[in-house]
Structure 1
Amino acid sequence: MLTNPRGDSMVCAQCAGEPVTLECPGCGSVSHSRAHRLCDRCRHPATVRRLLTNSDGQVPDALQPLEAYLLAHPGAANSFDRWALKSDAARAIRHLVSGLLPLEARAIIDDLSTPQSAGFLLSLLVAAGLLPELDVHQARFDRWLELWLAAIDSPQDRLILQRYHSWGTNPILRRPVARPTSSQHRVNRHRVRLRECATLLAHIRSSGHTLATFPQRELDHYLTGSASQADALSHFTRWLRQNRLSHLTVHPRRHTTAVAGMDPAERWRVARRFLKDDTIPSMDRVSGLLTLLYGMQSTRIAALERSDVQVSGDRVTLTIAADAIELPEPLGRAIVDQLQASAARSDRWLFPGRNPGAPITAGAITRRLRLHGVSLADARATALIELAQHMHPRVISDLLGLSSTAATRWWRLAGSGWATYPTLR
């Protein structure tokens, strides 16, 4: 560290012949020392112990796995200092240390003021082995549902919503998900669905009707044309008819494939910028290029694992679906950079998320790329249409993991004719 003036420049204390006053008392380093004099490497263990020690100056036996996990995943010292001092999750950890808070998911969710803090701390405790493996998003949803139902004034509405959740939506929620990032999307969708149903029931009750007497014409007048409302109420009214509680009907929206919203020349201009500009963070370069070149969804990008990448010399391949794709050299180099950058944070995910042991969310990828002027939906649509002009739907499906139906829809949008495909194959 340059601390002493010599002429018009600064030199270190040893070169100036002065005593070293800013060296770290733990290791002797003068790098990144601060007012308390400990360097980053020595400061992190000290901060962890301050966070986890009880009044006796010892880390409770039950929390020692958490200490080991935090020591093994140091991160940025300054950020960790701020988190340990001011965050809601750190406050809850101190309650765990003092015994004021039991080591249970439900109690932790209730103790924390925001869903984000609850999700982070639950993920941290699962990653450290203090809680059994659980779906953090599902655990938060279950507790939200319990509190939300209890706050509904009408006993009749509450009973209908409880039955609908138990028999109409819960079996769907409990199905295994193909990608971890799908869990958050799924519970968010069901939360919106239940709220729309509760709003409809309150409207029916305020109009002086019941589910059995509410006219279809008034329901049609009630609908706003919102896509989320149509999706929610179409499922709800179908469940009502199946259980002979009502004859109401809401038609779901028709799912259509988005048309290209990005000029092909602009797509290649942006792609060249991502390929050549090393100042763009590797996470953004990789996710942007996977969208611009291969039309990948943000949920699928977020769920990529380190094992999906194979490096052999200068050759880098990525397995998205059934077949591995050999990547162009700039993209391969960016993926190798991302592998190195994420190694300290996760031994599984290519794009580690904010929560320990979890991948980044699809929404975070979308927001990051939007800062670079990339609309994921438009870029993906243009990429898939151009790919469909040159490849058969079956090849697209094998390489990119699209369903045969989706690949065929893009092929039809591209207007491709593949009568000669068997010969080419």
Structure 2
Amino acid sequence: MARWPDGSVCGYCYRAAHRTRGKCSQCSHEGVLPGRDADGKPTCRDCSGIKLNVDCRHCGAEDELYRAGHCWRCVLAQEIDIALTGVDGVMPDRLKPVAAALRAMPRANSGLTWIRQPHVRQVLQRLASCGDGLDHDALDQLPASRAREYIRGLLIEHRALPPRHRHIDDYAEWLTRKLAAIEDAEERRIIERFGRWHNLRRLRRHAQRNNPTQGAFLRAKQSTTVAIDFIEWLRGRGLALEHLRQADIDGWYAGGPTTRGLVETFLYWAISQRLVHAITVPRRADNDAAATLGDPQRIDAIRRVLTDDSLALSIRISAGLVLLFGQPVHRLVALRIDDADTTGTVVRIRFGDDWLEVPEPFSDLLKTHLAARPNLQTAAHRDCPWVFPGFRPGQHLSPQHVRAALREIGAPALASRTATWRQLVKDAPPAVLAEALGVSPATAMRHATLAGADFLSYAATRTANRDKA
């Protein structure tokens, strides 16, 4: 309990008084506002007569004190200096930008909680001991952990280390382990060619355009694993890859789980490399027809996105972009601030070459989200360009995170997107939608075919109307 001019107060109110900041309603003083005036508006210490010790002994700032008369930010700075200083008493130059970013993060208490975790502290102190030798190789020598990769991300985001495509390195390291486990030299040579000259090259080409996604990394691993299983299956039948027959392909597909169909990537590559001849790769079934929402389900999902305040706003926005514009999750999470325009009377968004009007009231949700994007209260993002900032430094939200959230709210990404497209192609021709929504004409046409949309009749009607005019 504490005593104020108007009586005793509980511990909760006492702590709240230390943490209330802003401009005094009486004298416009900016700082800690422990009191309230007659109208309930916050007031400073002088105007309220409440005596609180909120002056930091170190920096003199008026703020909530945490330890020994020091504010949270000064204590955080002390902890950073301890964690990032090497045994020689000097902080490596490469760690200084990260130290500055941690000191300046908006929520100093969050930074203090993070840096005090033993596993985080251990990684930081190991890096500090590297001195001028701190680089990606030094990080790789540390035990693999989330803390190590998060700190690597911080170093990259604040330009202390050059960018690195994590998924490329992870796949190369994983492939090396897989190859070491293959005993037959010829089989190992084939898988190495496929892994290094197909999958790894595709990841690197993708890196030239954008950072390889988690999905691309997982597909590369999965196709390699299935290729290894397929080679081993052939060996069990006494066959080498060069003697592969159509009957063997059909037997592979028929004799196991549906994941065997993922061998198609390897088979197409083997055909292109002339390692196999005269075979046809079976086409996997298209599940688009089954993966969809009914119209009532889609309307219910849109209603929940607009009205359910218990959902995270970023998930509501993500779901809305799928349900209203048919966007794939991997594309919407990569939207940049420049792709959204809230400066005019109409909110607009851009998925392809054209700006599209965002309908109300969804536009209000988007404006609210953009005005206070989440995950920006730490040092993880320096100049964040993403509409959906992620949890990892410098990254947008992961597609896997959004897909899981959409499943939980009853709007699975694929089913929602398919349902949206089946509605959209009834109102506009596929070619127009493809250009506006940033998808390929073939994708738009496939949705139109599945929806049974008479887009040829639409084109004929447009031509007739133009001729009349």
TM bucket (normalised to shorter chain) is: 0.7 to 0.9
Structure 2 contact 66–75 (Cα < 8 Å) conserved: no
Counterpart in the other structure of 1:321:
352
> What SS does the corresponding residue of 1:342 show, helix, strand or coil?
coil
Letter in 2 for 1:131: L
Write the distance in 2 (CA, Å) between the matches of 1:253 and 1:261: 18
In 2, Cα distance between equivalents of 1:213 and 1:394:
45
1:224-250 Cα shifts (integer Å, max 9, x gaps): 55454323x223233334444445664
1:266-415 map, 5 Å: 266-342=297-373, 344=376, 345=381, 346-415=383-452
| SS state at 2:235 partner | helix
1:353-411 deviation digits (Å, cap 9, x = unpaired): 12211111111111223333322222211111111111111221122111111111112
Post-superposition offset of 1:29: 4.4
Aligned positions of 1:22-101 closer than 5 A:
24-25=56-57, 26-27=59-60, 29=62, 31=64, 33-34=65-66, 38-72=70-104, 74=105, 76-86=107-117, 88=119, 90-99=121-130
Q: Which residue of 2 aligns with 1:261?
A: 292
Alpha-carbon distance between aligned partners in 2 of 1:189 and 1:299, rounded to the nearest angstrom: 14
Distance 1:8 1:62 in 2: 48
Between stretches 49-58 and 208-217, larger displacement belongs to: 208-217
| Stretches of structure 2 lacking an aligned partner (at least 5 in a row) | 19-33, 36-47
Identical amino acids, percent of aligned pairs: 26
User: Contact conserved, 1:294 with 1:400, CA < 8 A, in 2?
Assistant: yes
**After the TM superposition, which of the residue ranges 100-109 and 63-72 deviates more from structure 2?**
100-109
Paired residue secondary structure (1:269): helix
TM-score (norm 1): 0.85
Whole-angstrom distance in 2 between the partners of 1:244 and 1:153: 24
Give the 3 Å change call, closer, same or farther, for CA 260–202 of structure 1 in structure 2: closer
The structural deviation recorded for 1:57 is 4.2
1:210 corresponding residue in structure 2: 240
Q: Could you tell me how far apart the structure 2 residues matched to 1:179 and 1:271 are?
A: 33
2:325 and 2:437 in contact (8 A); partners too: yes
SS in 1 for 2:319: helix
Segments of 5+ residues of structure 1 without an aligned counterpart are none
Q: Which amino acid aligns with 1:383?
A: T
Q: 1:230 matched to which residue of 2?
A: 261
Name which of 115, 130, 134 aligns with 2:164. 134
> How far apart, CA to CA, are the structure 2 residues paired with 1:75 and 1:153?
55
Q: Is the 8 A contact 1:106 1:143 kept in 2?
A: no
* Cα 1:149–1:111 shift into 2, 3 Å: farther
Which letter does structure 2 place at the counterpart of 1:307?
A: D
Count of residues in Structure 1 that have an aligned counterpart in Structure 2: 420
Q: In the alignment, what sits opposite 1:149? A: 179
Rate the CA distance shift 1:118–1:18 in 2: closer, same or farther, 3 A.
Answer: closer
Segment drifting more, 340-349 vs 354-363 = 340-349
Distance 2:283 2:323 in 1: 31
Structure 1 match to 2:25 = none
**Kept in 1: contact 2:94–2:132 (CA 8 A):** no
Q: TM-score, normalised by structure 2?
A: 0.77
**Partner of 1:200 in structure 2?**
230
User: Is the radius of gyration larger for structure 1 or structure 2?
Assistant: 2
- Counterpart-to-counterpart distance in 1, 2:138 and 2:252: 40
Contact 1:182 / 1:299 at 8 angstroms: preserved in 2?
Answer: no
The within-5 A match list for 1:98-177 is 98-99=129-130, 102-114=133-145, 116-117=146-147, 119-176=149-206
Comparing 83-92 and 411-420, the one that deviates more: 83-92
Structure 1 residues 197 and 4, CA, compared in 2 at 3 Å: closer, same or farther?
farther
